[in-house]
């Protein structure tokens, strides 16, 4: 999608989108169009149920008095409450409304109508919204007809102060690139994306100035990451761990660590999953995709922070070499784990990563992300990621960052009463604690590998990495959830 900025002028476009506030408060551009068309807009509004609410649209085709094929009234809601997210949603929804309309070029005129943002910032966020909304994973579609593809190929953001808007959009475009990368990774099939090839995708971040280290199985065995290696024992695909270092802050500043689960396909192992829906398990690497995408965004906008991204990449398959229920494995921390269920594999990947990143980098805080449990979907559905934390300030920072970018979190409890469920009769702990409170006992398992005094948060994003319902800036499929959240957390809490 080609996105450009333009100072106000006569629009040379197939479709012009203008904002209308709640209770049909016309923007100056809408008022001018109403006058040019002899009151056609006012008459159309009066004859419809359009009221200017967010994601409401009213189209006027070939309006008399305007040299455009389509004029679109796009509801903004209350202008006084139109923050950055509102403008992203306004533009993203408008793009989706017009994507298959037959229009090839679209112009969105941004006027804040006294809202809280400078118009240049509102326009930058509108462009960001279009960039997120136009995502489409179609590389394997070979028989699609032209009329099945989006018609819109160009979007122009018209705003007073186009140059300032373009400058404000530059870092947002880098964040969009990170989201796109994460979505692509989640959408790829498991025969294309497996530990080795996912590691190769990580290596491309070196072009952004990220120092990328890929560790193979021999190195991981030498280090002692045996719980992680145990997960991949049944697969013909060798496991990998990738460390991505962006050191944009002071040399003496401890980094923040972002840790991602990257199970490129999860059959459940010997504790095999039911066949129905197993194809969705290609996105069990959504946590690693979020970390990789966040590292792309953070490095792309040259964040003044030190950030370590680490992802554990494995494939969980059943075979004669696979780990069995009842096996005991020794983690990098030295703690032993009785594997009761081989389908509770993500925590075995993450626990070694948590130990390694603490031993190696002494981070000031750790955030791990994983599509860890089905239990979190039962509890929170597909509207919030589960947040578990041992530090209130970090939890509050994550919640605030998530709210500002529209990637919401809901804090869940931790406690000794849940920890007791992990007691093993032959090892230091079991890898599962039973059906009740499954997402909580999974978090309690991970907490055992976090050193006292280290702020840590665990995000269970099993309900958020993939969506069957489109939103204004998130099409169906891989969502890229976590990229904007992590980038915003770094900007709010660790930059400066």
Catalytic annotation, residues: 273, 347
What is d(CA 260, CA 370) in angstroms, rounded to the nearest whole number? 6
Can you list the alpha helix ranges (DSSP code H) found in 387-437?
A: 392-405, 416-419
Place of tokens 């989006």: 150
Strand order in the sheet with 306-316: 211-215, 240-247, 306-316, 256-266, 365-370, 456-460, 385-389, 409-411
Would you give the DSSP letter of residue 490?
Answer: I
What is d(CA 237, CA 382) in angstroms, rounded to the nearest whole number? 31
What is d(CA 180, CA 325) in angstroms, rounded to the nearest whole number? 38
Can you list the alpha helix ranges (DSSP code H) found in 101-259?
A: 119-133, 162-187, 195-203, 217-223, 226-231
Three-class secondary structure of residue 261 per DSSP? strand
How many CB atoms within 10 Å of residue 491?
20
Angle at Cα 200 formed by Cα 475 and Cα 351, nearest 5°? 80
Report the residue count for the chain. Answer: 496
Sign, CA dihedral 355-360-362-367, equals negative
- Residues with Cβ < 8 Å from 199, sequence gap 6 or more? 214, 240, 242, 313
Would you give the DSSP letter of residue 238?
Answer: P
Nearest to 488 by CA among 429, 417, 408, 390: 408
């Amino acid at each position: 999608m080609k996105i450009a900025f333009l100072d106000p002028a006569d629009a040379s476009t197939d479709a012009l989108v203008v904002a209308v506030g709640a209770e049909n408060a016309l923007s100056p551009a809408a008022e001018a169009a109403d006058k040019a068309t002899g009151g056609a807009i006012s008459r159309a509004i009066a004859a419809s149920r359009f009221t200017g609410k967010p994601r409401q649209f009213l189209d006027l085709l070939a309006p008399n008095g305007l040299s455009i094929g389509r004029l679109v009234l796009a509801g903004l809601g209350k202008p006084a409450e139109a923050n950055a997210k509102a403008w992203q949603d306004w533009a993203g929804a408008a793009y989706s409304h017009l994507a298959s309309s037959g229009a090839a070029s679209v112009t969105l005129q941004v006027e804040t109508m006294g809202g809280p943002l400078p118009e240049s910032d509102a326009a930058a966020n509108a462009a960001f919204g279009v960039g997120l909304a136009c995502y489409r994973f179609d590389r394997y579609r070979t028989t699609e007809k032209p009329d099945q593809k989006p018609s819109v190929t160009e979007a122009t953001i018209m705003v007073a102060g186009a140059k300032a808007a373009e400058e404000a959009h530059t870092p947002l475009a880098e964040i969009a690139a990170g989201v796109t990368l994460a979505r692509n990774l989640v959408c790829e099939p498991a025969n294309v994306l497996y530990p080795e090839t996912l590691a190769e995708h990580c290596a491309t971040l070196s072009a952004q100035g990220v120092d990328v280290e890929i560790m193979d199985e021999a190195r991981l065995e030498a280090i002692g990451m045996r719980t992680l290696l145990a997960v991949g024992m049944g697969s013909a695909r060798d496991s990998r761990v990738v460390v991505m270092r962006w050191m944009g802050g002071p040399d003496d500043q401890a980094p923040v660590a972002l840790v991602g689960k990257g199970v490129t396909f999860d059959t459940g192992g010997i504790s095999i999953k039911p066949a129905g829906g197993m194809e969705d398990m290609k996105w069990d690497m959504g946590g690693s995709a979020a970390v990789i995408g966040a590292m792309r965004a953070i490095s792309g906008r040259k964040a003044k922070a030190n950030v370590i991204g680490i992802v554990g990449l494995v494939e969980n398959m059943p075979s004669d070499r696979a780990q069995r229920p009842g096996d005991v494995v020794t983690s990098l921390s030295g703690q032993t784990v009785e594997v009761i269920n081989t389908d509770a594999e993500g925590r075995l990947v993450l626990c070694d990563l948590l130990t390694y990143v603490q031993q190696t980098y002494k981070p000031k805080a750790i955030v791990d992300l994983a599509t860890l449990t089905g239990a979190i979907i039962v509890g929170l559905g597909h509207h919030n990621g589960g947040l578990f934390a041992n530090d209130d300030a970090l939890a509050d920072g994550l919640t605030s960052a998530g709210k500002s970018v529209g990637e919401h979190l809901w804090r869940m409890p931790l406690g000794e009463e849940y920890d007791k469920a992990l007691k093993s009769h032959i090892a230091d702990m079991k890898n599962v604690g039973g059906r009740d409170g499954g997402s909580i006992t999974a978090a309690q398992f991970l907490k055992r590998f976090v050193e006292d005094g280290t702020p840590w948060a665990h995000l269970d994003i099993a309900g958020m990495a993939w969506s069957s319902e489109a939103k204004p800036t998130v099409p169906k499929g891989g969502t890229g959830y976590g990229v904007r959240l992590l980038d915003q957390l770094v900007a709010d809490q660790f930059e400066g």
